[in-house]
A and B are shown apart, each in its own frame.
Chain A
Amino acid sequence: MPQAPIPTEALLKAPSGVAGLDEIMDGGLPAGRPTLVCGGAGCGKTLFGLTFLVEGALRHDEPGVLMCFEETEAELASNMASLGYDLPALVAAGRLAIDYVRIERSEIEETGAYDLDGLFVRLDYAIKTVGARRVVLDTLEVLFSGMSDTGALRAELRRLFRWLKDRGMTAVVTAERGEGSLTRHGMEEYVSDCVILLDHRVVEQMATRRVRVVKYRGSAHGTSEYPFLIGSRGITVLPVTSLQLCHDAGEERVTTGVPDLDDMLGGDGYYRGSSVLVSGTSGTGKTTIAAQFADAVCRLGERVLFFAFEESPRQLMRNMGKVGIDLSRWIDDGSLHITALRPTLCGLEMHLARMHEDVESFKPSVVVLDPIYNLKSVGSGSEVHAMLLRLIDFLKSRGITALFTAIDSHGLHELGQEGVSSLMDTWIQVRALEYSGERNRGIFVLKSRGMNHSNQIREFILSDRGIQLRNVYLGLGGVVTGAARIAQEAQETAAEAERLQLLAVKRREVERRQRQLQAQITSLQAELDAQDDELDLFAARQRSAAEVLTRTHAEVAITRNRGRGV
């Protein structure tokens, strides 16, 4: 992601280790300063802190110290093991120190002035043990429940944060969310450089986690609420608009799988990396168009990820098998992966994150979502729109071609037709054409950016060899389809046959005449040859006659000389 040049004296950043968050925070948490992470119960504060530590130790060569007040080392280790982080190994390797601080109100009788030097000493000891650069205090507020002298405690907290800053520790301090304030005990008073708010809310029975950077002194940061989720790979934050519309736009095309449809799109199919919407009313063959596309892409030896929100993989394969699209062999050879989920299984963010994960691991060149309308059952129109936007941005940034199907009659209007349209590069609409007592399927290209696409409505049929587009017949009422089209086709076929017949007759007649002429030519030639022969004979006779005459004259002359002279 291109960034504005940062002046050299700018705030140093420590990568948070939370995927996606650094993008929002312009590089990470403020290095050498404490950051407050607040949120309600179960919003992922501890996980946030641990991710920060573990990633720091593993990837950024910054060992860390965790001072935990709520969970013991063993509990934390087993919690993190499920995310693939091996805390005991890190501790054994000297990259991480964990100090569990147990506070029990009943054990603490305050008998006079005191300070928290014990805590300082322990923290200092832990920092020195591993040479820590990062510190997480989770959750410091437990101190408030253990100690009644809040005045003294507050003074000590102030001292603690000063102390951490002086040591150049990048610290994460977690705190419980309070009523009407960021934290229950006003921790934001002490940690004022950077405040991150985690939120876990339930809207229409669907839980979504969100993160917001409330405050970040001396740094640019995204101010929106960003959804995040806790999945099998830890925390992932999904920036809503991480894109600046800077993805590449190649010239390369990829076939739609239907040659005639390619023709409608200017001859070569969809652009690679573009987003395609196939919309239509129920039962118009949207899924088939998607499947045929998937099939064609697999034929090219590329990979396709198919998200099915309506059908199970088996059902999808069976149904597509009936129209001659054999998806099972692509699944067998690993070039096609079908992920079938009920949309209501999880919230939109979770869907998005799962798609992210699947796309990242499967690395397809084409992603199919069938259909997007169904996601509406787990989010409002604007949320679905925002999610699609993010998904499309994400896919585009990776040059992945995306095909979405949507149901026209309800879905698009509720989603906001313009909104969805603006996200899509190519929009193909499939429509039921009702004409002369039939319902047939018509397909047309509503829009296709950067293509000289067809303006025709073509009829298409689902045959046992997939989708086939029919020629366009115009009748009185516009495009003629179905039986009327077949009648028209028959009529044209008959006319064509008759025309061909006529042509054949004519050709035979001409040929006959040609043959006659040829015969005449042959006989005349023969006559000509005979006359030539006659002429030759005559000439020869003339020549021999002349010779005889000459000889005779000579003989006569000799005879006469003999008689006179001798």
Chain B
Amino acid sequence: MDADAATDDSCHWNLRLYVAGKSPKSMIALANLRALCDTYLVGRCTIDVIDVLEHPEVARADQIIAIPTLVRRLPEPIRKIIGDLSRHQRVLVGLDLEPVGP
């Protein structure tokens, strides 16, 4: 497991969220992701948002099927989770993110 890397405070996170325009699910996911970063990854997290409607070739290259999809590009290894990130516990498990403090 990469619990060490994930919990390492100095580790920088790169998250990429694939959305389809301004669809409700995409918007919810983006809001959830921002909240997540503000809670757990303050100051050490960059978020890219890719609109697959504008960049379909990226969807193909990155093997995106479901929208929204969140990919943890850094730290390694790459993790992929789908859905609007509203199930909090699953997001944490999926991103391998240990809850920190109360």
Contact = CB atoms under 8 A, between A and B. Distances in A.
Given A115-B66, A118-B64, A107 B80 contact: yes
Interface string A508-521: 00000000000000
B66 A147 contact: yes
Contact of B67 (A101, A108, A109, A118): A118
Interface in B13-66: 18, 20, 23, 25, 28-29, 32, 52-53, 56-57, 59-60, 63-66
A252 interface: no
Contacts of A101: 63, 65
Interface in A81-110: 99, 101-103, 107-110
Contacts of A99: 60
B75 interface: no
Nearest to A149: B83
Contacts of B20: 117-118, 121
Contacts of A102: 63
B73 interface: no
B26 to A, nearest CB: 9
28 contacts: A99-B60, A101-B63, A107-B80, A108-B66, A109-B79, A110-B90, A111-B86, A111-B87, A111-B94, A112-B28, A112-B29, A112-B84, A113-B86, A114-B68, A114-B82, A115-B67, A117-B52, A118-B18, A118-B20, A118-B65, A118-B66, A118-B69, A119-B66, A121-B59, A122-B65, A125-B57, A125-B60, A147-B66
A121 B85 contact: no
A111 B66 contact: no
Find the residue from B23, B65, B84, B86 having the highest chain A CB count within 10 A: B65
B91 interface: yes
A117 B23 contact: yes
Q: What are the nearest 5 A-B pairs in CB distance?
A: A109-B94, A125-B56, A112-B83, A117-B67, A112-B84
Nearest to B21: A117
Contacts of A113: 25, 28, 83-84, 86
A111 B84 contact: yes
B93 interface: yes
Interface string A118-130: 1101101110000
Contacts of A108: 66, 80-82
Interface of B: 18, 20, 23, 25, 28-29, 32, 52-53, 56-57, 59-60, 63-70, 79-87, 90-91, 93-94
A110 B83 contact: yes
A514 B93 CA distance: 136
Given A102-B63, A117-B67, A121-B53, 13 more contacts: A107-B80, A109-B91, A109-B94, A110-B90, A111-B81, A112-B28, A114-B67, A115-B25, A116-B65, A118-B59, A118-B66, A125-B57, A143-B65
B23 A109 contact: no
B48 to A, nearest CB: 16
Contacts of A147: 66
B30 to A, nearest CB: 12
Contacts of A122: 56, 59-60, 64-65
A115 B25 CA distance: 8
Contacts of B94: 109, 111
A125 B23 CA distance: 19
A115 B94 CA distance: 18
A121 B26 CA distance: 15
B65 A103 contact: yes
Contacts of B59: 118, 121-122, 125
B50 to A, nearest CB: 10
B52 A118 contact: yes
B56 A111 contact: no
A111 B83 contact: yes
